[in-house]
Amino acid sequence: MYKTIDVDRNSLTIMGVKFSDLKTLESTANAIGTNMFEGFEPTKELIQLYVEWKKGGISESELLNKLYTIYGK
């Protein structure tokens, strides 16, 4: 079942994670929503990782390692 997530365009946040601008927030929210129809369940932690990667705060390999730590078996 599709669940709504908290998107606050005034505060520029998704699930409490701050975005730098409205355009980035909206494109991210749209991508998350599209994937949720396919069964993706976003978490605040996952969105924060994405923002860190997008800003250049972590490398792609660091992102993948963290994702593997969270979701890998």
Task: Calculate the alpha carbon distances from 65 to 44, 45, 47, 56, 61 in Å.
Answer: 18, 14, 15, 15, 6
Cα dihedral sign, 47-50-54-55? positive
Q: 3-22: per-residue pLDDT in tens?
A: 889 999 999 999 999 999 99
pTM for this one? Answer: 0.84
One-letter amino acid at 64 equals: L
Structure tokens that stand for 2 in this block:
């599709």
> Residue 70 and residue 66: Cα distance in Å, rounded?
6
Q: 38-63: per-residue pLDDT in tens?
A: 888 999 999 999 999 999 999 999 99
